[in-house]
Amino acid sequence: MIEQDLTEQELFDSIARDVERYGHENMVVYPYDLKETLVQLREESEVLYRKALTIIPNELLAEVISEMPGHLQEEAAEYLGAFKLADVTSKMDTDDAADFIQTISESNETIAKNILSNIDKEDRDLIKSLISYDEDVAGSYMQTELFSANLNENIGSSIDRLKQMKAQAELDNVYHVFIVDKYNKFICSIGLEEVIIMDFKKTYKDIIEDEEKEYTQIFAGHRDDISKVVENVSKYNLSTIPVIDEEGILIGRITSDDVYDIIEEQATEQIYHMAGVNDEVEEEADIFAVAINRGKWLAINLVTAVAASVVIGLFDTTIQSLVSLAILMPIVASMGGNAGTQSLTVTVRQLALGSISEGDAKDTIIKEVVLSLLNGLIFALVIGLLAYLWFDMPLLGVVIALSTVINLLFAGFFGSIIPLVLEKLDIDPAVASTVLLTTVTDVVGFFSFLALAKWMIL
C-alpha cells in the first residue's frame, strides 16, 4: 500500500526500494502496488516517472504494465525503446502480451509492429493468433501457458516437470493439471490439491479409471462467447477453465483473474449503457467525442420528453381550471418512473446473468406486475390521502390514487417486457430500455391523471 501526500522524490525512492527488494528471496513486491505508486508519481513529476520506468527490471515491469489501464500502456510504450518493449512483452503472459500489443496498435501501429518484429518467432506467432480472435470470444482471453500431462504419464514425473517450470518462471497461477491423450486432445482436469495426495508411482490413466477420484471435464471452445464461459466458471466454481479448438486439442486456459476482469468489464458496461453512455468512448481523451456520444442519447430523450409534453398539452384547459393538477403531476410521473426502473434493472441484470430463459419470461413479467400492483395500491392510499388533506378535495385524492395504481401497473409490465423484447430482437436491453420506459411511464402517468381529473372532477 502507498502512503498519501508523499513528495515526488519520496515516491521515486519508494519505487527504487521495491526494485532493490525484488531481487531478494523472501521479499514480495506486488505489481499492483507498484503500479499505483507509479501512477501517483506520474501526476507529480513526468521526468521522475519516465526514469522510474527505466529502472524497473523487465520481468517486474511486464507485470506492472499488465496492471495499467490502456492509456498508460500506450504512454509507457512511447517512453521505452523498441528492444526493451520487446523484452518486456515477451515476459508477459501471452494473454496480457496480446492485449498490450492490441492496445498499442490502436494508437501507434508502428510501435506495435516494432515490438513484434523484435520478439522471437514462436512468441510472435502466438501473440498474433490471440489478437486475431474477436474480442468477445474465449480465445481472445486465454493464455497458452498451462500445465498439462499425458494420460499415460507417471504422476511423479509430471510433478517434477511442474517444479522445473515454476523454477524457470514459465507459468504461474497453476491450480489444475490438464490431462490430454497422445494427440494433445483434452480429456479432463484434476485439481493439484488432489494430485499431491495421489500415488506418484501411478499414471493419470490409473487415476481416471478409479471412479472414486474427482476430476472435471468442463472446458471452453476457443470460439465460445466469453459471457457463456464466465457463466460456466461461476456455475461450476472453477478457478481455471481449459480452452480447446474445434478438434478438441488443448490450446490454452482462462484463469480466475481474467474472469474477474471480464465480470468487472461487463458490469461497468451495463451500468454505462443503462445511462446511455458508451464505456469505450468514455475512456477517450477527446472530450468532444465523449460529448457527441452522450448527446445522441440526450437527443433521443428530448424526443420522448416532447411526447410527454404533447400529452400534457391535450389537457391544457383542464390544468388551467385546476392548478393543483400541475402541482401533483410530478408525483405520478416520478412514482411510475422509479417503479419501472426497479423492474427494468432487475430484468436486465437477470438477462445479463443468463437467469431468464424463454420459459421464464412469462413468470418474470407476472412477478414484476404483481409487485408493482401491490406497491401501487399501498402508495395510492398514501398519495390519495395526502392530496385530499393538501387541497381538501376528496375526488382529487381518488383521481391521483387511481392514476398511481395505473401508472405503477404499466411501469411493472413495461419495465420487464421491454428488455425481454429487445433481447429477442438482438438489441442490447441495457442501451435502449431506459429511454423507452421513461416515455411509457411519463405518457401513461400524465394521461391517466389528467384524463381522470377531467372526467371525474371537471
pLDDT score at 294: 65
- All 3 cell numbers of residue 50? 519516465
Q: What is the pLDDT of residues 71-115, one digit of tens each?
A: 889 988 888 888 899 999 999 989 899 999 998 988 888 888 988
- All 3 cell numbers of residue 285? 481523451
Q: What is the pLDDT of residues 365-405, one digit of tens each?
A: 888 889 988 998 999 999 999 988 998 888 999 999 999 99
Span 323-338, average pLDDT: 87
Percent of the chain at pLDDT exceeding 90 = 29
Q: Are 388 and 396 in contact (CB under 8 A)?
A: yes
Per-residue confidence band for 272, with pLDDT thresholds at 50, 70 and 90: low
Cα gap 198→105, rounded to integer Å? 47
Tell me which fold the domain 279-456 belongs to: Tetracycline Repressor; domain 2 (1.10.357)
pLDDT score at 263: 77
Q: Are 442 and 308 in contact (CB under 8 A)?
A: yes
Q: Is the pLDDT of residue 131 over 80?
A: yes
Span 436-440, average pLDDT: 83
Span 178-196, average pLDDT: 92
Q: Are 178 and 242 in contact (CB under 8 A)?
A: yes
Cα gap 149→238, rounded to integer Å? 19
Cα gap 136→315, rounded to integer Å? 50
Q: What is the 3-state secondary structure (H, E, C) of the chain?
A: CCCCCCCHHHHHHHHHHHHHHHCCCCCCCCHHHHHHHHHHHHHHCHHHHHHHHHHCCHHHHHHHHHHCCHHHHHHHHHHCCHHHHHHHHHCCCHHHHHHHHHHHHHHCHHHHHHHHHCCCHHHHHHHHHHHCCCCCEHHHCCECCCCEEECCCEHHHHHHHHHHHHHCCCCCCCCEEEEECCCCEEEEEEEHHHHCCCCCCCEHHHHHHCCCCCCECCCEECCCEHHHHHHHHHHCCCCEEEEECCCCEEEEEEEHHHHHHHHHHHHHHHHHHHCCCCHHHHCCCCHHHHHHHHHHHHHHHHHHHHHHHHHHHCCHHHHHHCCHHHHHHHHHHHHHHHHHHHHHHHHHHHHHHCCCCHHHHHHHHHHHHHHHHHHHHHHHHHHHHHHHHHHCCHHHHHHHHHHHHHHHHHHHHHHHHHHHHHHHCCCCHHHHHHHHHHHHHHHHHHHHHHHHHHHHCC
Per-residue confidence band for 293, with pLDDT thresholds at 50, 70 and 90: low
- All 3 cell numbers of residue 111? 510501435
**Cβ neighbours of 86 (radius 10 Å):** 21
pLDDT score at 214: 67
What's the mean per-residue pLDDT of the chain? 85
Tell me which fold the domain 148-255 belongs to: CBS-domain (3.10.580)
Q: What is the pLDDT of residues 245-257, one digit of tens each?
A: 999 999 999 988 8
pLDDT score at 289: 66
Of 3.20.20.80, 3.40.50.720, 1.25.60.10, 3.40.1160.10, the CATH number of 8-136 is 1.25.60.10
The dihedral through the CA atoms of 190, 193, 197, 200 has a sign that is positive
- Strand 148-150 to strand 176-180: parallel, antiparallel, or no bridges (unpaired)? parallel
Domain boundaries, the chain: 8-136, 148-255, 279-456
Q: What is the pLDDT of residues 411-429, one digit of tens each?
A: 999 988 888 888 888 777 7
Span 156-175, average pLDDT: 87
Q: Is the pLDDT of residue 194 over 90?
A: no
pLDDT score at 276: 55
Angle at which helix 94-107 crosses helix 121-131, to 10 degrees, equals 70
Q: CA of 76: how far to CAs of 26, 62, 115, 438, in Å?
A: 29, 11, 13, 44
